[in-house]
Amino acid sequence: MKKIRMILFFTLFFGASGVSQTPALKDVRAKQYGFENKTYIYSGYFIDLKNPRFYFSFKDGTIEIAEPAFNTDEEKWAQAIVYTAPYALIRKDGFLYLHTDTRRFLILFSGEVCLLKDCNSTLCLWGLEKSSKYILRDTVRGYTSPFLFQPQYQSFSSFLTETINGVKFAYNRENKRYYLEINPWVEGISGDGIGEVQTVNVPFGSDTFLFLNGFIDSGRPDLYLKNSRIKELIVRNGTFQETITLKDSPEPQIIQFACLLEGEVSFEIKSVYKGTKYEDTAMSGILYLRIPPER
């Protein structure tokens, strides 16, 4: 069985940080990135968190994150605390990282979507620009959340299993349905995985889906190109069928369909971008967005 080497982070939510920026690291900003000088409202990283107005913003080289407090008394549990720090942007193996004096994040962004993945915990902040039509607003409580949902993962036609240092891993997102994390599905057959299917349940229905293509690991960015990525997917829901093409990019990709997809939705691999080392094909996430009231 081919090995996908992966650094595991066992720290839940706000695990120990202690990552310091070394003097040798230099900011790679030749120009302003698309996410800078913007504010993003984000969904809680586990979907049953009824969060207040959580956000993160980038302004003049400083990041500000309003994030929920968990290690506190019951009265303040999950209330927003604000973290502010200057940052530098570092590029490694085609991925962009944000460094502060104590923390490090992988940044994935495209259009109105920006994802911050803490490199030392399972913390993922899935943000949409504050002006996004997908964010519902309440005049009393402010922004509401969640607006981004993870489908209930029902089944996979196959998935990769392997043993690393005596520990068995299954790349099937088992026990991850309640968490907005990055946990790749990797098909488990010989070859590129053409014809393999991921079937999910979308109980509320949506016509807008977010895809994270390929194998994304903040600790091993080289695994994205080493493994195959999905090029074409056949999407089925009842009598509906459509073939979509994904970019060969780890950045978030939003695709809107012509009709509402609800209930059992399947995604079949039709073609791939071949990996430089392995034939295993991976998808790091499929989520769906809440339908705006005007639609």
Residue 143 CB contacts under 8 Å (≥ 6 apart), including other chains: 41, 53, 55, 130, 135, 136, 137
Token code pair at residue 60: 């003049």
% of the chain residues with pLDDT over 90? 53
Average pLDDT over residues 206-218: 95
Give the long-range contacts of residues 135-140, CB within 8 A, separation 24 or more.
135/41, 136/290, 136/292, 136/293
Predicted TM-score of the model (pTM): 0.83
Average pLDDT over residues 29-33: 70
| pLDDT, tens only, 256-293 | 999 999 999 999 999 999 999 999 999 999 989 887 66
For 172-203, give the secondary structure using H, E and C.
CCCCCCCECCCCCEECCCCCCCCCCEEEEEEE
Q: What was the pLDDT predicted at 144? A: 60
Q: What was the pLDDT predicted at 75? A: 58
The H helix count followed by the E strand count for the chain is: 1, 21
Average pLDDT, the chain: 82
Q: What was the pLDDT predicted at 292? A: 67
User: What element of type H or E holds 18?
Assistant: none
Q: What was the pLDDT predicted at 122? A: 78
Q: What was the pLDDT predicted at 227? A: 98
Q: What is the CA radius of gyration of the chain?
A: 19
| pLDDT, tens only, 109-156 | 999 999 999 999 878 888 999 888 888 766 555 556 557 777 776 789
| Structural domains of the chain in order of their starting residue, each with its CATH number | 38-146 (2.40.128), 149-289 (2.60.120.260)
Q: Cα 145 to chain center, whole Å?
A: 17
| pLDDT, tens only, 165-188 | 888 888 987 645 445 678 889 999
| pLDDT, tens only, 38-59 | 999 886 554 445 555 688 999 9
The band of 294, judged by pLDDT with boundaries at 50, 70 and 90, is low
Asked if residue 183 lies in contact with residue 173, where contact means CB atoms within 8 angstroms, the answer is yes
Q: What was the pLDDT predicted at 10? A: 30
H helices within the chain, ranges in order?
223-226
**d(C-alpha 146, C-alpha 252), whole Å:** 17
